[in-house]
Amino acid sequence: MINIHELTLKSFNDHLNKKSFTALEAVQGYFNHIKDSDKNIGAFLSLHEDQALRVAEATDLKIAKGEKVSPLAGAPLAIKDNLLIKDLPATAASKILENYTASYDATVIKKLRAAGSVFLGKTNCDEFAMGSSTENSAFKLTRNPHDTKKVPGGSSGGSAAAVAAHMSLGALGTDTGGSIRQPAGFCGVTGLKPTYGAVSRFGAIAMASSLDQIGPLAKNVEDVAQIFNVIRGQDSYDSTSVDHKYNEEKLLNPKLEDVKKIRIGLPKEYFAHKLDPEVTKGIEEAISKLKSFKIEFKEISLPHTDYALAAYYIIMPAEVSSNLARFDGIRFARRNNALENSKNLEDFYREERGDGFGGEAKRRIILGTFVLSSGYYDAYYAKAQKVRTLLKQDFDEAFKEVDVILTPTSPTTAFNIGEKTSDPLEMYLSDIFTITMNLVGVPALALPTGATTSMPVGFQLIGKHFHEEDILGLGQYYEKLGK
């Protein structure tokens, strides 16, 4: 008997076309599994059975008629709750949006819908995607499926946990400073932050617009490539999206001879950082496995790495303070009767925004407003943008020597729930290996090392702008090495 929860997207599609099961049966099976398993994990904020079952029935009808269906047809996916699906809640895990229902589809949702994908529900995340552990959600706690005493990572912790616990075949998340890759590493799944501009951000609730990117999570690299191939492309609703002509054959069916030509760089600044012993073991095993594949390695330098974290935590809050100004408690669904009970508009804003935003959101709004304020803009924000330029130059120089850069995803494995909540700086350090890719806009793939450790260890393959086929191809062959 086929266990649908153990399937990959590829094998799911194969069995669906062979009529081993129907899409309706599969989706019903996933909802039953979620109802049993999610009590302990807390990956989903909302489930939407009626809409999902209608889509599954439509897929079955097409197959029954002998029509060709997309590789993602009938595939049960989980969607992070800061991405809009028409007529469904979109809370971004914040009280200030707890009553908001989306009035349109995000572009990535339109594309997946056209491919016949099934949206099981919306997943938990840190409020407005601000966090590294999914502990900042206003609604619930999400736990790591490998050890429920530990965090799943953040901010896309719900999406990563849903895939890791076999509650969805794949998922969408957003990545502003590592929010796809770090939870993928903690939960032992695969996640891609595409090149900035490769995927439309239209319909994503913005956190930091020059850093945000939507990307897929799945059980393996092949599935991630399949989802990316559907959601990529220019969009007239997003002026930052780019019409780049990807080679679909290289994305989905990489050739061994092309992969073996890839040169991998190891940045000495990243490996000088103190790593947990299990992370060191996993990364060393990953490098050793790739070296056995006769791939060329070279030590490189990214000299301004030490300034990346500081620059990020100036640029990101500045953009947060601007983007979150629209959430005033009046638009995007009213929360209570504060307007009627307030003496004036200032009192209303104090009550609505004060109660509606959580502690981390307030911290970043205040910090961002400060660095943009008169007298401080040049001292902080303008200087951080100059550092960003230097970081980009570092990567441009490095990519003259190598094609792909390999680094750890995080300095530690998943940490205990509550371990870092009292120390924001310690929490921010969880993203030390991921934020630079957002600052410079390059694509990065996080995948499990496959090493035998107590908790999953992830590593990153970082590519040149719009060279996702390099990191996805290398990642697919890395997985084949482990079989």
| This prediction's pTM | 0.97
Catalytic residues: 80, 155, 179
Pairwise CA distance, residues 481 & 293, whole Å: 8
pLDDT value for 332 = 84
pLDDT value for 343 = 80
pLDDT value for 338 = 60
Q: Splitting the chain (483 residues) into consecutive groups of 10 residues, what average pLDDT does each group show?
A: 92 96 98 97 98 97 95 98 97 95 98 98 98 98 98 98 98 98 98 98 98 98 98 98 95 94 97 95 96 94 97 98 91 68 80 90 96 93 98 98 98 97 92 97 97 96 98 96 70
Q: Are 412 and 279 in contact (CB under 8 A)?
A: yes
- Going along the chain from its start, the domains and CATH numbers come out as 4-252 (3.90.1300.10)
Q: Are 90 and 205 in contact (CB under 8 A)?
A: yes
* Among candidate residues 101, 172, 236, 136, the one with its CA nearest the CA of residue 180: 172
Per-residue burial over 327-361, b if 16 or more Cβ lie within 10 Å, else e, is bebeebeebeebeeeeeeeeebbebbbeebbbebb
Distances in whole angstroms, Cα of residue 71 to Cα of each of 32, 115, 117: 24, 8, 9
Q: Are 441 and 197 in contact (CB under 8 A)?
A: yes
